[in-house]
Amino acid sequence: MSPDYRLGPEHRFPAAIDDSYAVLQWVADNKDRLGGPDAKIAVCGDSAGSNIAAVMALMARDNDGPAIASQLLVYPATDLRMADHQSLIDNGEGYLLTKASMDWFKANYLNNDDEANDWCVSPLLAADHTGLPPALIITAEFDPLRDEGTAYAETLRAAGNDVTHTNYDGMVHVFFQLGPLVPAGASAVSEVAAAARAALGG
């Protein structure tokens, strides 16, 4: 399922989060006709989508469901404060995704800068990361978001969760979508597919 969640600037935070959680609940309520009563659910996304996927895993835990079998996060944005992550400094220009474009996305998503401190915006800032589903986190060497993804992997692991973190050397943001052209992109797609298959029992 790919939620057609509302977008900013017309619909700012928390519209995308509310819509995505509503879809998650709908999928759980309709498992019988979607995949059977024993079907499992994983959350997955890349970049802004993986931000939402990570928030869904936290919300599902805090609301006693729906049960999530895995979270598959491809270069996740986990800290919209955009503070002192070295990769943002080193890779903020010249590697497709720029700091300037990230500033623009943030300005069109949030109602004000203070919302970046909300864990539903910056899942890295959640007070509790225990009891979350197994995570696959993929990062890219020349991505401004690399250190946020790495920090999230380390935070989840420190909280006792099962985490696999793969950093793809030499890659930039969006390499995952370039699988037909970039061998590392194809490898990352295969890694996510294998993790999804293992989590969902397919």
- Residue 25, SS3? helix
70 assigned to active site: no
Question: How is residue 166 annotated by DSSP?
Answer: E
The one catalytic residue among 47, 50, 70, 87: 47
Question: How is residue 67 annotated by DSSP?
Answer: -
Question: How is residue 169 annotated by DSSP?
Answer: T
| Euclidean distance between CA atoms 78 and 135, whole angstroms | 14
Strand ordering across the sheet containing 163-168 = 42-46, 70-74, 135-140, 163-168
- Chain centre to alpha carbon of residue 14: 16
143 assigned to active site: yes
The one catalytic residue among 20, 46, 87, 143: 143
| Euclidean distance between CA atoms 184 and 52, whole angstroms | 24
The one catalytic residue among 50, 79, 122, 173: 173
User: Which residues face 71 on adjacent strands?
Assistant: 43, 135
- Residue 29, SS3? helix
Kindly report the number of other CB atoms within 10 A of residue 130's CB atom.
11
- Residue 51, SS3? helix
165 assigned to active site: no
The residues assigned a catalytic role are 47, 143, 173
